[in-house]
Chains A and B, each alone.
Chain A
Amino acid sequence: MFLNKLLPRHLIHAKSLSTKTITKSTSALFFKPEVQELLLKLTRIDLSKVFRKQKYGQELKPPEYKFLTTEEVEKLKEEAYNRAIKKMQMPPIVPARDDSKLEVLSNDKELLGHDVCKYVFTDITFGISDAKRIIVVREPDGLLREANTNERHRMNNIYFSRPGATYKHPDMFEEENLKALCDRKEYVFILDRAATQYEPDDQLYHNILNTTFTHIHENNGFDHLRSTRHFGCLVFFLANNNIIDNLLLQNLHCNMIEDAVWLIKVYQIVNPESKCATVEHIQGKDTEFVQSYIDLDSSKKDILSHFFPSQFLCQYNGIFLSCG
């Protein structure tokens, strides 16, 4: 085993973005059923986008045609929607694994110098997930410890390789290549590949997410992610870092006041100490709820409040305001 090889430096020490690290408590918030529900609603599932033709190099089957009654069609539509919801499962947001604090299982000094290389022991029992599999390393000096992230990735890839994941780290996640991809607006591709390549608790995965989401936020590329499984993660990232204003502005621009309300609700749950956290949403008073957020917490008050009154009027006069 060549486990002594270290990861390329630039991958680990990707430029430290001024984003909050995910802690256990934020991760717990993400898994809350109400947050999951809100994030799913915000995703705005578009069936034509979810079930678009995927190109894995597979053999294609001809479509099936059926005669159905209206009831049966409705039933099938519902089934399709349920399948779409399953496809919208968000990659979990969990705290990054800390490789500097590996659990030491035993330190047998008698074994000192038993070999020149490390021994890795992997539990390959059927039915254990990659995240929970027990992998330990015996160092040449007799130390028996938990395997670190890189060792876990390599062992899991050797014994239970995932389709689409590679043993080596793809070059596209290097800083310059990643930036080029972001500039080309290939956000979905980056996020999909990162999700298949890495475990959600990998530090590299967190770095990639931070870079991509920051780029999306700065360039207002929210529409690229809408109706994909990553939109919920994006919203959670924005709420966690207190930068939901751009998305809110876009929602208001496009007359999606409902989405704005859900977004602020997520923000309230993620930031319970914020000023607007105590404001309760009353049904039918969406605009006031959004207004209260803008007044209390928004950092772009002037832009939002300048825009908001006209939006308010338009909605009540029934005039369709064009986007942008």
Chain B
Amino acid sequence: MSFTRNLICKLQIQKFSQNIFTSSIRLGTLPHCLHFQQTPLSCIPPQRQFSLSRICCEEEGTEENKDEKPVDPAKDRRNPVPVEISIRYLASEAYQKCYGDEPVWKYYRRNHKGMFAPKKTRKTCIRSGIIATGNPCPICRDEYLIIHPYNIKLLEQFISPVNGEILSYMKTGVCQKQHLKLLVAITQAKNKGLITFDLPFREYNYKDYFPTSV
């Protein structure tokens, strides 16, 4: 008796698996069919089910991508602009027309509810290569602004002309991801000597170097 039951069960599974290939049935619907037959689940190799279902899911996933709406080219950041173009852009007339002599963050205003802005800016403006916010930060909103140690004109806008410190994101409104990139790029540029800065005074004790001198 149990043998015939098993046989029926296996046939059922075969039939079912064929169904899976042809139709796109979700993983969640699988156990229902089996439960109905009251077959011992122990004799069904679970791996087979999962592998099949995975194939189904993958197929579904690819189909979804095809169905996706076309991305607004203004929000598409999947192919970033090379640095050379960014450097040329910062020296160009178009940039001058857009920003004038002010730094790029000057006229950016953060969106927030209530009177006070949250302490930190948002984690990132760009998710999986597409702008995911209505008010992207001053660097994310312009696709021609690329942070790089050689892009000195851009980096210098984020260094205070008053005391030479790196400006806070509270002031510039840059998102956390871009701010970290900025810190790294400025450090690299300083290390390479592309950005000059003042160094603290080092006092020498001449006695250390020449004992007889006063």
Contacts and interface: CB of A to CB of B under 8 A. Distances in A.
Contacts of B192: 170-172, 177
Interface in A36-93: 54-60, 87, 89, 91-92
A129 B207 CA distance: 10
Interface in A5-54: 27-28, 31, 33, 54
Contact of A170 (B191, B200, B214): B191
Contacts of B193: 170-172, 177-178, 180-181, 186, 189-190, 193
Nearest to B149: A171
Contacts of A223: none
B204 A163 contact: no
A135 to B, nearest CB: 15
Given A172-B192, A181-B193, A192 B209 contact: no
B107 interface: no
B212 A89 contact: no
Interface in B194-214: 196-206, 208-210, 212-214
Contacts of A89: 203-204
Contacts of A177: 192-193
A166 B191 CA distance: 10
Contact of B205 (A59, A129, A180, A193): A129
Interface stretch (B61-69, B86-94, B159-167): B159-167
Interface residues of A, number: 39
A166 B197 CA distance: 15
A171 B163 contact: no
B164 A55 contact: yes
A171 B189 CA distance: 10
Interface in B158-176: 160, 162-166
B199 A59 contact: no
B209 A94 contact: yes
B197 A196 contact: no
Contacts of B205: 129
Interface in A135-153: none
Contacts of A60: 162-163
Contacts of B163: 55-60
A200 interface: yes
If over half of B's interface residues share one DSSP class (helix, strand or loop), that class is named, otherwise mixed; here it is loop
Contacts of A163: 200
Contacts of A196: 199-200, 202
A186 B198 contact: no
B208 A131 contact: yes
Contacts of B213: 31, 33
Given A56-B164, A172-B193, A132 B199 contact: no
A206 B208 CA distance: 18
Contacts of A162: 202
A201 B204 CA distance: 13
A54 B196 CA distance: 12
Contacts of A180: 193
Contact of B196 (A57, A58, A166, A186): A186
Contacts of A129: 205, 208
Contact of B198 (A54, A94, A166): A54
A225 interface: no
Contacts of A28: 210, 212
Contacts of A170: 191-193
A134 to B, nearest CB: 13
A163 B192 CA distance: 18
Contacts of B162: 55, 60
A94 B209 CA distance: 7
A129 B203 CA distance: 12
A171 B191 contact: yes
Contact of A200 (B160, B199, B204): B204
A54 B199 CA distance: 8
Contact of B165 (A31, A57, A189, A193): A57
A251 B210 CA distance: 31
B204 A91 contact: yes
Contact of B210 (A27, A164, A178, A186): A27
A163 B198 CA distance: 12
A190 B206 CA distance: 22
A152 B107 CA distance: 50
A172 B191 contact: yes
A171 B190 CA distance: 9
8 contacts: A27-B210, A28-B212, A33-B213, A56-B198, A164-B200, A172-B191, A177-B192, A189-B199
Instruction: Give me the 10 closest cross-chain CB pairs, A-B, nearest first.
Output: A172-B193, A55-B164, A57-B165, A31-B213, A92-B209, A131-B208, A189-B196, A31-B210, A164-B199, A192-B199
